[in-house]
């Protein structure tokens, strides 16, 4: 059994048959505390695994860091009170901890508020994630192969049915890397964080493929990482389309076997 999954008892019901007791694979969900030089920055729920990638991707998407050079250290905290390893501490380059921590606080406030909508929201997102310097639209024949590439990144989905996945596919149609998590945003942060820690951002002509709908937040995360195309199996929101159009990002929705829609 993968560390991402645990076994839990359940009763399977099928119409016309008596319930059957079984043991089902269930996705692990635990809190991750992210500390900024010893002080709690945020606590998020995630599926354990690739925690350092998740932390780096989160800091990138929130504008706290711009690249790998901004990270001095990133590690799990050796804390007797946290035997499960659910705490990560990050040390930033000198000065960044003070000057950029406020960006995270403001981002959290903006996410929880609903008073800024439409064009104002897109304009603010563009200030955080400027338009892409070069546009890229994957060839339709390549797009048709993306569901299969995403499936390669979903090693544990078939066992549990409870994990989202994000995968980066290059212009040749090859899977660069993939990550799974109970949260779709976490899966994307894990991909972006892995690229950042490998000093591989921006990744050049490539497509970020996700197993979910397409929100403005996911478009913003792709832009912050310099990824020029985003594709998802679900529908895009109106703000996701507006931001993608304004930033020059190729946005593909309803990606299924043999069909897809291009919105930007």
Active-site annotation, residues: 114
User: d(Cα 253, Cα 261) in Å, to the nearest integer?
Assistant: 5
**CB-count burial class (<10 Å; 0-12, 13-18, 19+) for 121:** middle
Token digits for 252?
């593909």
Q: What is the DSSP letter of 257?
A: T
Q: Which residues contact 61 (CB under 8 A, 6 or more apart)?
A: 188, 189, 192, 220, 221, 224, 225
User: d(Cα 237, Cα 121) in Å, to the nearest integer?
Assistant: 13
Whole-angstrom CA distances from 170 to 137, 178, 185, 237 are 12, 12, 21, 25
């Amino acid at each position: 059994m993968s560390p991402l999954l645990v076994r839990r008892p359940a009763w399977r019901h099928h119409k016309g048959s008596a319930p059957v007791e079984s043991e089902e694979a269930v996705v692990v969900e635990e809190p991750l505390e992210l500390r900024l030089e010893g002080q709690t920055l945020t606590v998020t729920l995630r599926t354990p695994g690739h925690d350092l990638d998740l932390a780096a991707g989160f800091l990138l998407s929130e504008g706290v860091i711009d690249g790998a050079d901004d990270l001095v250290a990133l590690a799990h905290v050796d804390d007797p009170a946290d035997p499960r390893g659910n705490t990560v501490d990050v040390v930033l380059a000198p000065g960044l901890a003070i000057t950029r921590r406020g960006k995270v606080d403001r981002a959290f406030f903006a996410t929880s508020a609903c008073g800024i909508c439409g064009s104002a929201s897109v304009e603010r997102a563009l200030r955080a994630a400027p338009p892409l310097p070069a546009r890229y639209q994957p060839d339709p024949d390549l797009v048709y192969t993306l569901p299969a590439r995403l499936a390669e990144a979903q090693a544990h989905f078939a066992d549990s049915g409870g994990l989202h996945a994000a995968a980066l596919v290059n212009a040749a149609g090859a899977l660069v890397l993939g990550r799974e998590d109970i949260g779709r945003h976490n899966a994307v942060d894990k991909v972006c964080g892995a690229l950042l820690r490998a000093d591989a951002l921006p990744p050049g002509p490539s497509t970020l493929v996700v197993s979910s709908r397409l929100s403005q937040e996911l478009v913003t995360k792709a832009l912050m990482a310099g990824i020029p195309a985003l594709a998802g199996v679900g529908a895009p929101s109106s703000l996701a389309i507006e931001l993608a159009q304004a930033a020059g990002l190729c946005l593909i929705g309803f990606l299924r076997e043999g069909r897809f829609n291009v919105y930007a």
